[in-house]
Copies of this chain bind each other. A is one copy, B any other.
Amino acid sequence: MACGKCLQCRTGEAHICQNVKIIGVDADGAFAEYVVIPESNVWKLDPAIPQEYASILDPLGNAVHSVLAGEIAAKSVAITGCGPIGLFAIAVARATGAAQVFAIETNQHRRKIAAEMKADAVFDPATQDVKAEILQRSDGQGADVVLEMAGHPKAIRTAFDIVRRGGRISLLGLTSKPISLNFSEDIIFKGITIQGINGRRMYQTWYQMTALLKAGKLDLHPAITDRIAMKDFSSAMERLKTGEASKILVYPNGTK
């Protein structure tokens, strides 16, 4: 919930509002039968969009915001970290014209889902030389765009290793650990651009998601791994931890 009155809110950057309130953190959350939400935060789902997608529009919006934060058409795109946003980013990048999408993920379950989302190549950084693989697939240039969605120091290191001269790194993955870089070699000589990505432009991404989903450009089903009744909540959390589950749809009155 953006304040609507700060510099950022007033200049189209409400997603980095200075006084943002997060439901569940700064205001009563949504683990209740009813929740009070400002009118402006409510979006009516287009009837042409499968209803189950309603529950995953927010992370999809983050993916759309990240992918479209710079040019993407005809570019090679590498995604480090295949949690739900990373998986959705694969679909969004493909739908918006990325020539190649590389997924990089240590967890085997997530790599399997990444492949189902139709990444052009999926790499395991624990056993593969990711940089060599990507250079070989990009005429030695490296990836035009890297979306860092893991928040792990090794993944961040990989992001800087694989981006091409003049490329873009969009950073989403959060980490509390300090990250050390060689600014001259990693950033300046390569002339890259790095973006901190936080949240999403709410309405713009809603319009974009609606347009892409209605057009049938995004198949997100592989990322919806589980559909459970609310009473099975605890056991489902286990599958999230192992990476076997990605997005879990919870049905209040038992699985539909």
Q: Give A residues with C-beta under 8 Å from B.
A: 7-8, 10-13, 15-16, 18, 64, 68, 72-76, 95-97, 99-100, 120, 139, 141, 151, 156, 164-166, 171-172, 174-176, 178-184, 187-198, 201, 203-204, 207-209, 211-212, 214-215, 217
Contact = CB atoms under 8 A, between A and B. Distances in A.
Copies of this subunit = 4
Contact of A180 (B16, B164, B178, B198): B178
Nearest to A139: B7
B166 A207 contact: no
B175 A178 contact: no
A91 to B, nearest CB: 11
A99 to B, nearest CB: 4
B203 A166 contact: no
Contacts of A7: 139, 141, 164, 207
21 contacts: A7-B141, A10-B204, A11-B204, A11-B207, A13-B165, A15-B191, A68-B74, A74-B208, A75-B211, A99-B215, A100-B215, A171-B183, A171-B187, A171-B188, A180-B181, A181-B181, A191-B195, A191-B196, A191-B197, A191-B198, A194-B195
B73 A73 contact: yes
A40 to B, nearest CB: 8
Contact of A13 (B11, B68, B191, B208): B191
B187 A196 contact: yes
